Amino acid sequence: MFKKIMALVAVGVLATACGSGGDTTAEGGAPATSGGGDSTITMGFAQVGAESGWRTANTKSVQESAKAAGIDLKFSDAQQKQENQIKAIRSYIQQKVDVIAFSPVVESGWDTVLQEAKAANIPVILTDRAVDSPDKTLYKTFLGSDFVEEGKKAGQWLVEQYASETGDVNIVELQGTTGSAPANDRKSGFAEVIGADPKFKVIASQSGDFTRAKGKEVMDAFLKANPDIDVLYAHNDDMGLGAIEAIEGAGKVPGKDIKIITVDAVKDGMQALADGKINYIVECSPLLGPQLMDLAKKVLAGETVPERVVTEETTFTQEQAKQALPSRQY
Ligand code: AHR
């Protein structure tokens, strides 16, 4: 609806501007000025799925923020499948929404559908996860965490913890969804930091698809194949929580026999950290909704927005988790 009204306004403005040869449309065809009438913005949001506590909190943040901002949200859940996300985006294009936002399941393979959105003059905003397309004109901005930095923070904690250790430190890694930006970047950031000292050995690394069930299943297999695991690095809390069940099932004490580092800092993860079952969590904030709605409004008003908006995040030790838990929002 927003677009129809804006189109009518733009036609009117263009008619007056024609004599002077003025161009009243902003980059990407969005009208530069808004008029009265029903100016409700419609946003199509293609979510990854509901794989983790982080994702649930992210969905809630997007839905609540859209409501608060008066934006009409069309929401779809891709169940962690790229083809479902592509279908959802195509359907938003057909429905002529004003703006499309999505969190890409994986990094590659988006150019065609993004070109279709661009051809339809529908701006796209990436949230949470990146695409690897070299053509930056296919989206207006990317709002989300610096996942490489998160991996580095996890590695730095480990390096400090084992500073006085001289023997090998055997690490197993539970990766996120194969091909996803957080799995790629959290792996590379971590590897870069621990790679400076050869005593750190990643003896097994496999995807647990960011889910608790898969985290447990893969950790079970790691434990059977490797009797001497010192450290588990899980790319999210949920996989770490599943792994804790596997470790306890194998008669070991999580947080003591095997040190655990995770990413996210959702409530369940923070509780396990406060209980001593996880040793360190790198925060990744899912509360992207308010900034997303703000960016969407700016993009549609033809304002310039930064190419990249990085979320501010921290880290938590066991003591810090105890203090933060009572006021944790998600
Ligand atoms: O893209 C963010 C990641 O996706 C979160 O860290 C993870 O929990 C989620 O599934």
Q: Does 5 score more than 60 pLDDT?
A: no
Distance from the alpha carbon of residue 317 to the mean position of ligand 1, in angstroms: 20
Query: What pLDDT, on a 0 to 100 scale, did the predictor assign at position 9?
Result: 43
Burial 263-302 (b: 16+ CB within 10 A, else e): bbbbeebbbbbbeebbbbbbbbbbbbbebbbebbbebbbb
Cα of 52 vs centre of ligand 1, distance in Å, is: 7
List pocket residues of ligand 1, CB cut-off 6 Å: 51-52, 54-55, 128-129, 182, 210, 236, 238, 263-264, 284
> 174 has which bridge partners?
206, 234
The model's pLDDT over 173-200, given as tens digits with 9 standing for 90+, comes to: 999 999 999 999 999 999 999 999 999 9
Please give the number of the atom of ligand 1 that sits closest to the Cα of 284. Answer: 6
**The pLDDT value given to residue 15:** 32
For 212: left if phi > 0, alpha if psi spans -120 to 50, otherwise beta; the answer is alpha
Could you tell which of 52, 81, 147, 310 is best to mutate to test the pocket of ligand 1, judged by most ligand atoms within 8 Å of the CB?
52
Residue 285 CA to ligand 1 center (angstroms) comes to: 9
Ligand 1 closest atom vs CA 103:
1
Q: For 51-80, what is the mean pLDDT?
A: 98
Tokens read off for 143: 């709002």
Out of 33-47, 80-94, 156-170, least confident range: 33-47
- pLDDT tens digit sequence for 141-155: 999 999 999 999 999
Phi, psi of 132 (to 5 degrees): -95, 15
pLDDT score of 39: 81
- At residue 192, the pLDDT reads 98
Confidence of residue 2 (pLDDT cuts 50, 70, 90): low
- Which strand ranges, in their side-by-side order, compose the sheet holding 200-207? 200-207, 169-175, 231-234, 259-264, 280-283, 315-316
Average pLDDT over residues 32-59: 83
Average pLDDT over residues 119-136: 97
Specify the pTM: 0.89
CA 182–ligand 1 middle distance (angstroms): 7
d(CA 41, CA 43): 6
Residue 34 pLDDT > 80: no
pLDDT at 315: 98
Report residue 38's pLDDT band, with 50, 70 and 90 as the boundaries: low
CA of 187 to the centre of ligand 1 (A): 13
Calpha distance 206→114 (Å, rounded)? 30
38-48 average pLDDT score = 93
Common-topology check for domains 33-144+286-312 and 147-284 = yes
pLDDT recorded at residue 185: 98
Q: Does domain 33-144+286-312 have CATH number 3.40.50.300?
A: no
pLDDT in tens, 152-176: 999 999 999 999 999 999 999 999 9
- Which DSSP state fits 106? S
Name the residue of 209, 284, 285 whose CB sits within 8 Å of the most ligand 1 atoms, as the mutation to test its pocket: 284
Pocket test for ligand 1, best of 58, 60, 127, 128 (most atoms within 8 A of CB): 128
Lowest mean pLDDT among 18-27, 89-98, 223-232: 18-27
**Separation of 35 CA from ligand 1 center, angstroms?**
39
Q: What phi, psi does 238 have (nearest 5°)?
A: -60, -45
- Protein residue whose Cα sits closest to atom 3 of ligand 1: 182
Q: What is the mean pLDDT of the chain?
A: 91
Distance (angstroms) between ligand 1 centre and the Cα of 83 equals 19
Q: In the chain, which ranges are continuous DSSP H helix?
A: 2-17, 53-69, 82-94, 111-119, 147-161, 181-194, 212-225, 237-249, 267-274, 289-300, 318-324
Segment 59-73 mean pLDDT: 98
Q: Enter the DSSP assignment of 44.
A: E
CATH 3.90.1300.10 fits 147-284, yes or no: no
Burial 200-228 (b: 16+ CB within 10 A, else e): bebbbbbbbbbbbebbbbbbbebbeeeee
- Residue 52: left (phi > 0), alpha (psi -120 to 50), or beta? beta
Residue ranges per structural domain of the chain: 33-144+286-312, 147-284
CA 263 to ligand 1: nearest atom: 6
Q: State residue 145 phi and psi, 5-degree precision.
A: -75, 165
CA of 211 to the centre of ligand 1 (A): 9
pLDDT of residue 3: 53
What pLDDT sits at residue 7? 44
Is the pLDDT confidence value at 89 over 90? yes
pLDDT tens, residue by residue, 234-245: 999 999 999 999
Percent of the chain topping pLDDT 90: 88
User: Does pLDDT of 205 surpass 90?
Assistant: yes
Q: Rounded CA gap, 175 and 215, in Å?
A: 9
Instruction: Classify burial at 106, counting beta carbons within 10 Å of its beta carbon; exposed 0-12, middle 13-18, buried 19 or more.
Output: buried
Alpha carbon dihedral 105, 43, 313, 279, in 10-degree steps, equals -50
Question: 318-327, pLDDT tens digit by residue?
Answer: 999 999 999 9
